[in-house]
Structure 1
């Protein structure tokens, strides 16, 4: 990795990689990249996740310390700490559920559930602050082109449950949202936080890009 960075000598590196709960990839990989970036003098934007939080306090701004409750969250939290330790001028950008133009895992799941080709439910008690991929990309480019450093939050400005998000996706895509099954994550065996709401207002004040909420970016086209 160090050899590649030295040869390319990039001005900015944006790290959006993740290996799930694989510690070597998700926790250690970003730190090695940060070391290489610091040595070459490259800016580093490291994309992290709201999975670093437990949901115990629900609302989380950039000053909140990670308290993960899953292996993936622990790996992302470790990466944040390591990245900022070896590259103090790096940006750690935490985000939430990323929604695209029909291509995200969340959108595909809604289509499959509505079509009856997938089993499962959309939780009504699992709440996040979804962000549109275009808003996220633009915000990351702004952070990359400036001199920001440290922790930044890039979540949408509206909290939605997985089911509420699914209904908005279904209506945008002209699907029957009544076919989307509901359930409670609290009643399931799935690990992880229930209600994690990234407070992105401090970061938003520094950006030209507006981090829209789901009701806005999922409004059906006329």
Structure 2
């Protein structure tokens, strides 16, 4: 009897881990036929490759946003619509020159992706449910390459989570400003101003 009781207890403890599987991921980590598999490979930028399942289809720009990878266009003249940053990366440095940029890939619905380099931008590329979509960071010499083996799929984040991630990216940009150096400069200038006053009084 004690042995049977122990077995039932262990089985009950295992149930929460089974229920914790992402709702948007099918068995084996693949996305469902009603979803688009969205992949972002950060490559040299760090962060590895991430795969997210997004319900339905639509413009690539919206699918990336819904997957938690908001995009930012390049501010450079003549580069309107050219994506410069994905999920805030690269945080600094070039993002639209010939040897450092985000390459856009897509594949029609199927069991496995058959990647093609996109000839359309993220706002014009429209995908059906079951399709595959990817951004891959390319840096340095050599040809651009499609994403490699995709990571286990995750369910798409909520709209609030996407907005929170965008806010964190803006906060990180503020953190890059050398506030400590500026404060130190103010202290030094203040001390320099006090010395002549004291000398004048002596």
Shared fold (TM-score, shorter chain, > 0.5): no
Considering fraction of residues, name the structure with more strand.
2
TM-score by length of 2: 0.30
TM-score by length of 1: 0.28
Greater C-alpha Rg = 2
Considering fraction of residues, name the structure with more helix.
1
